[in-house]
Structure 1
Amino acid sequence: MEGTGKVAFPRPDPPIVGKVNHHSIELYWDINNAYQIRGPVKNWFKFSIEEEDLKTHAYGTIYSGYSRKHVVEGLEPSSTYRFRLKVTEFNGECAYSPLVSVSTTREPMNGEHLHRAVNMDDEGATRNVLQSGHMKVDVPDKLGFTPLMVAAQKGYLRLVKLLVEYGANIHRDNGSGKNSVMLACFSGHLDVVQYLRTQGASWETRDKSGCTAMHWAVDGGHVNVIQWMINDGCEVAALNNHEDLVRLLIESGADCSITNEYGISIAEMAKAFDRQNVVLILEKNKEERRLSVR
């Protein structure tokens, strides 16, 4: 016993360590009921778990009662903790066990770790998260973007390839129906567009507003991307307020007479959105085509 110079009963064994994870440690003790006393509760042995402060070496009680098990929660991952068991007899006599040292496990990787690594263009960290095997590669962020969508939009080709290597779905879309190739087209990352195309990205897929990857390339104003898409066989038909792009599409063989699913033509859409410069280009093209037929 501490404090009186004598021990009223045998020194208890240290707590036995049960399940341990990154934020909790299970401790249990007196599995053989060595301190079992029958009769009223006032005569029972009382158990306390004390934790040592590793800096001051002082002890603080984190559990006190008659149970033979306690789960210490709210701990830091990859950290060491030291505990001892205090047994108190009904008359106030007490004894302390030796210390037991336990380390929590490493925090499991999650979607936040993966998205953080991708947003920072950190290939090593991204690979480490993926290799942990604790999550799906297509885990979305709060905006519904998968890591592949983020990498494609930012133009991180190395990460795009790495994510695809680990099974990222290039066809998956976000809440508005945009997939990775659409995002890369809008942002003008030709190398990413080219790679996703080799992995099976389709030019025909439409988002929820009916726009294709070509629409997004045009809307982003990326002539080099559009030219490559045309050469790759992508159908050219789009409306935007970029005169040079509209001209490029027309010169590349865009069919200006086609309509959308509601039967509205490109010219009608241009007028509806007050795209007068586009309307003039389309009318000029129409007139030139009429004259050429003669």
Structure 2
Amino acid sequence: MYFFNRIKKHIVFIVLFTVLTQTSADSSEDLFRAAEWDNESALVALALREFDLNTPNEQGEYALTVALRNDAFKAFYFLLSQQSVRVDLRNPLGESPLMMAALRGHLEPARRLIQRGAEVNKPGWTALHYAAARSEPDSVEMVRLLLEHHAYIDAESPNKTTPLMMAAHYGHRDVVRLLLQEGADASLRNEQGLSAMDFAQRAGRNDMLALVADALQPRVPER
């Protein structure tokens, strides 16, 4: 009898473990489906069940970043309102929610993330790199926001590419102008020996080339 009672306990444990594991897997799927499809109600239900909203999916992504990538603002703002949600979790590419907001041009979400304590500076690629690489005119306001919150203007990517280099190749003319006005160093080179002028030249962007070249000209002190 003792032997059979032990077997029954093991069976009950296995069944409970299977149910809980399946429930957790289903909840994770619900989390990312809600983040992708902007389903705030589903997120509220998960929060009421005390499901961990910081749970990554199989690709190592986090719901806050997924919501931003999919322009799912209701989902994003709900997640951000939960104090348990960590705002600096990074995906396997090293991207934080603030970096995704910068890349997508989501100014108000970026501002709210910073208010929640999101890190503006970090080693490697930064939100400023991502903002500087956008060619849309509204990227200027994103760059200005990050600089106002002490983004390091000459931040180096893993291969020492700076935001100015990214802007000269991919970004908007006014972003290049703003970075130069705020003191970006146009003389820096990355590990391939390329400067911001080289980036502009390779992209065939003569307007950027002229801006950077002008910044490199020695200034005659005013008398």
Aligned pairs, number: 191
Instruction: Please point out which of 202, 208, 218 is paired with 1:278.
Output: 208
Superposed, 1:143-158 pairs within 5 Å as 143-158=59-74
Do residues 159 (structure 1) and 89 (structure 2) align? no
Do residues 231 (structure 1) and 148 (structure 2) align? yes
Cα deviation 1:192-230 (Å, max 9, x = unaligned)? 101111122122114xxx321011011123122112222
Give the % identical residues: 24
2:88 maps to a residue whose letter is H
When structure 1 is superposed on structure 2, of 265-274 and 251-260 the one drifting more is 265-274
Q: Which has the higher helix share?
A: 2
Cα deviation 1:143-180 (Å, max 9, x = unaligned)? 43210111233444443343241522211111111111
Which residues of structure 1 form unaligned runs of 5+?
A: 1-17, 25-76, 78-105
Do residues 244 (structure 1) and 160 (structure 2) align? no
Instruction: Please point out which of 214, 219, 222 is paired with 1:291.
Output: 219
Superposed, 1:70-219 pairs within 5 Å as 109-133=26-50, 135-164=51-80, 165=82, 167-206=84-123, 210-219=124-133
Structure 1 distance, partners of 2:221, 2:189, is: 22
Shift of 1:129: 1.6
Shift of 1:275: 5.1
Q: CA RMSD in A?
A: 3.3
Which residues of structure 2 form unaligned runs of 5+?
A: 1-10, 155-162
Shift of 1:281: 1.9
2:219 maps to a residue whose letter is L
2:33 maps to a residue whose letter is R
1:283–1:270 Cα change, 3 Å? same
SS of 2:220 mapped into structure 1: helix
1:249 maps to a residue whose letter is L
Q: Is the 8 A contact 1:114 1:126 kept in 2?
A: yes
Q: Is the 8 A contact 2:36 2:72 kept in 1?
A: no
Q: Which has the higher strand share?
A: 1
1:132–1:261 Cα change, 3 Å? farther
Do residues 220 (structure 1) and 134 (structure 2) align? yes
Structure 1 distance, partners of 2:208, 2:107, is: 26
Instruction: Please point out which of 163, 167, 183 is paired with 1:253.
Output: 183
Cα deviation 1:92-112 (Å, max 9, x = unaligned)? xxxxxxxxxxxxxx9664211
1:257 maps to a residue whose letter is S
Q: Is the 8 A contact 1:235 1:254 kept in 2?
A: no
Shift of 1:181: 0.3
Shift of 1:130: 2.4
